[in-house]
């Protein structure tokens, strides 16, 4: 028996367009193209999802969306591209109990967000609009909203360091940085060169 298909309204179309644009942009960035403003635009879509009432899917149980795409290649390409600046530090929950900043990877975060968004896109493209909106809203509140915000904050901080000619801070002891034998000065120079190239400086 085929599942019911729903005609998307303007809101659903706009959210789906933002999601698809982000997935495409990250894929193109992994190939070496310009990043544009994909993360900011996605967060605007997420803010709209978070502001509306809870979306209720048509079906009680989530229909099978098929096999999940393998994000390993995307993650590896991003990690290679972002090697000098891939690791950043973030407090997971600023309103939770005091904790030390944890190390994260931009490549892991972006690949994970693409995977979550693509899951919803599968539902959307197969006509399960409410299921797609429910998934995007739930995953925005539970994961990719905070993840994208953290990545955007890390990138903004890096741009500020480059534009203000301010050295990057020392990496805390025990942080997972995949020691590649480079000194802090060399890593800072690589990060500066990378961002200067992106900004056309």
List for the chain the helix, strand, coil content (%; round to 5): 60, 5, 35
Residue 123: name the closest of 66, 53, 46 by CA: 66
| Residue 55, in any domain of the structure | yes
| Residue 3, in any domain of the structure | no
| Residue 63, in any domain of the structure | yes
Burial string for 112-130 (b: 16+ CB within 10 Å, else e) reads bbbbbbbbbbbbbebebbb
In the chain, how many domains are there? 1
| Residue 128, in any domain of the structure | yes
Residues 6+ away with beta carbon under 8 Å from 192: 161, 162
CA distance 72 to 52: 33
| Residue 109, in any domain of the structure | yes
CATH assignment of the domain containing 39: 1.20.120.1550
For every one of its 201 residues, what pLDDT tens digit does the chain have, with 9 covering 90 and above? 345 567 778 899 999 999 998 998 888 888 766 555 677 777 788 888 888 777 777 666 666 666 676 678 899 998 998 888 899 888 767 777 777 888 899 999 999 999 999 999 999 999 999 999 999 999 999 999 989 888 888 888 888 877 787 776 654 444 444 544 445 555 556 555 555 554 454
| Residue 41, in any domain of the structure | yes
Give me the domain span that covers residue 38. Answer: 10-199
């Amino acid at each position: 028996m085929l599942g019911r298909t729903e005609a998307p309204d303007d809101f659903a179309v706009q959210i789906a367009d933002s999601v698809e644009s982000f997935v495409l942009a990250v894929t193109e960035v992994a190939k070496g193209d310009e990043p544009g403003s994909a993360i900011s635009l996605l967060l605007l879509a997420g803010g709209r999802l978070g502001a509306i009432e809870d979306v209720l899917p048509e079906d009680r149980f989530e229909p099978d969306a098929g096999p999940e795409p393998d994000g390993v290649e995307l993650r590896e390409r991003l990690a290679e591209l972002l090697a000098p600046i891939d690791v950043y530090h973030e407090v997971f929950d600023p309103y939770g109990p005091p904790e030390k900043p944890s190390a994260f990877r931009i490549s892991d975060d972006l690949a994970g967000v693409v995977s979550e968004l693509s899951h919803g896109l599968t539902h959307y493209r197969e006509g399960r609009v409410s299921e797609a909106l429910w998934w995007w809203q739930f995953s925005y509140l539970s994961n990719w909203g905070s993840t994208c915000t953290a990545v955007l904050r890390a990138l903004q901080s890096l741009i500020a360091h480059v534009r203000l000619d301010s050295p990057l801070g020392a990496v805390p002891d025990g942080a997972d940085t995949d020691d590649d034998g480079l000194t802090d000065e060399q890593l800072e120079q690589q990060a500066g060169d990378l961002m200067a190239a992106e900004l056309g400086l």
